[in-house]
Amino acid sequence: MNTFNILAVDGIANEGIDLLRKSFNVEVRDKISHEELLEVIPKFDALIVRSASKVTADVLERAENLKIIGRAGVGVDNIDVQAATERGIIVINSPDGNTIAATEHTFAMMLAVSRNIPQANQIMHTGGWDRKKFVGVELRNKTLAIIGLGKIGAGVAKRAQSFEMNVIAYDPFVSAERAKNLGVKLVELDELFKTADFITVHMPLTNKTKDMISLVQMKIMKPTVRLINCARGGIINEKDLVTALTEKIIAGAAIDVFENEPLAEDSPLRTLPNIILTPHLGASTVEAQIGVSVDVAKGIIDALNDRPVATAVNLPHIPGHVLEKLAPYLDLGERLGRTITGMSKEPISSVQVNVNGKIADMNSSLISTAVLKGMLSAALEHVNLVNANILAAERGIHLSEVKSSIARDFANVVTVSANGNIVTGTLFGNEGRIVSINNFRVDVDPHARILICPHINRPGVIGAVGMLLAKHGINISSMQVGKAEIAGRNLMVLTVDNPITQNVLDEMKSLDSIFDVTPVAYDV
């Protein structure tokens, strides 16, 4: 038997424990205090937790032998991932173990809200009988809108089609070909909100998806629409949801996740008759608990046998001498990926990464992976150098790499091309810079919030933009005006200190001589 010692806490399903015991020493403590964890952690090589135990920096300081932490579930909020990374400890989770459970719970919530099942059940248990009060609607021939076509969203689409529903979806990282294979029509958000009878959310919570559905969006929906959220609290604005349900702006909602959990006892959501609430039950099935246990066990077995782990949420091990040279280019690649995504008006199905210069002789494929990481991180959680290629492939994104030891203008450059856009970056010292956008020469710091504005090259354009942003209280911290051999055209890149609302963007686009305005935020 291998001498590795594993500690499993918080009630891990036996199936995963049994798998580990075939190769390692496993100690199980379903309940353990923080003080006890601090005391025993030094002797263990691996730790498995659910959500109860907090793997904090003080625990990791004492974890002198720890090589990997496994979270039997999706979220890793109870683990100090940064501290673990700094100590070279891999952190893994189980992003797919509860996929079926969450998919089925979504559909259960949709059926329940369409037929008023919980309300009718409650009346029956109190001696009542009121059929007229609980007349529902059928799913057949209704339009289901899915926001996020990952594994759960795709699973919901498949089940909806068996109910003869018309399925539309929004996902900026899914190609038209992938959607067609799923039998789903891709649409923009405005069309989705206007046409859907049911809307279900399957996106991660990011700065971009926070309050994605607020009163503004609810007011353009059909008054008969029903909202379902089994993804993340905070994507649907809860205060606005109360208003929309109270004023009958929308017909109903079914919510499993909340901005703050557990949901406050005095939450107004609890008082509304046209909403169904469940206490974050999306992953609460026997099968899901077994699934996450087995997934994490397999990841730990791979890690302790020096094999790559696809569910790592932090960086994989890279030899120090390689990482020292590559690290700045990995950061640059990620930010170029974020930039090319921000510039793309359509879902990206193909991306090309050109690596030129001496870095082409190194393991530069990691740079391409970093580009994918940047592309996907704006909309997905837990994207890293291990799983970025897998996630991109699942979304129909094809990556091509071109390497050459010859570089023009700079010693080493990385160029990313997608959907007709081209962004090039290099290092000034160890600092990444964007030096070209669509063949316009610039010098842009890709660590800030920027606006990319192609425009007609004439007097007054730059001043008009500056005055408009000043009117809205938005500070411009730097400005670059590109140069290219395109007659009459130029490119302005602004670094701004404040978030830019859609209204401001629309106003900028309406300015005379401005072709477009593209915001790119690197701090999502």
The answer to whether 193 and 220 are in contact (CB under 8 A) is yes
Cα distance between residue 117 and residue 124, in whole Å? 11
Residues 6+ apart with CB under 8 A from 414: 329, 332, 333, 336, 353, 354, 355, 356, 367, 371, 424, 425, 426
Amino acid at site 70: G
Distance CA 107, CA 165 (A): 12
Known catalytic residue at 265: no
Q: Which residues pair with 69 in a beta bridge?
A: 47, 91
Tokens representing residue 489 in the block: 């055209």
Give the separation between CA 408 and CA 147, rounded to whole angstroms: 43
Describe the chain by its helix, strand, coil percentages, rounded to 5.
Answer: 35, 25, 40
Asked if 438 and 422 count as a contact pair (C-beta separation under 8 A), the reply is yes
What are the strands of the beta sheet with 476-481, ordered from one edge?
Answer: 476-481, 489-496, 449-456, 518-521
Find the radius of gyration of the CA atoms of the chain: 25
| Per-position DSSP letters for 77-142, written without gaps between them | TTB-HHHHHHTT-EEE--SSTTHHHHHHHHHHHHHHHHHTHHHHHHHHHTT---TGGG-----TTP
Distance CA 458, CA 434 (A): 24
Longest alpha-carbon distance in the chain? 82
What is the β-pairing status of strands 350-357 and 275-277? unpaired
| Catalytic residue chosen out of the listed positions 15, 36, 164, 261 | 261
List the structure tokens of 59: 């625990």
Q: Do residues 50 and 69 touch, judged by C-beta distance below 8 A?
A: no
Catalytic residue among 202, 226, 232, 382: 232
280 is catalytic: yes
Annotated active-site residue 458? The verdict is no
Tokens at 242, concatenated:
């109360």
Quote the CA–CA distance of 173 and 150 in Å, as a whole number.
9
CA–CA gap between residue 99 and residue 153 (Å, rounded)? 10
Structural tokens at position 189: 């958000």
Query: Token pair for residue 106?
Result: 């979504």
In whole angstroms, what is the distance from residue 476 CA to residue 37 CA? 49
Out of 280, 441, 447, 489, the active site residue is 280
For the chain, what is the total number of helices (H) and then of strands (E)? 17, 22
Closest CA to 185 of 145, 156, 217, 139: 145
Instruction: Please name the residue that has the structure tokens 């837990």.
Output: 382
| Helices 320-343 and 365-377: angle between axes, nearest 10 degrees | 40
Phi and psi, residue 127, nearest 5°: 90, 0
Question: Could you list the active site residues?
Answer: 232, 261, 280
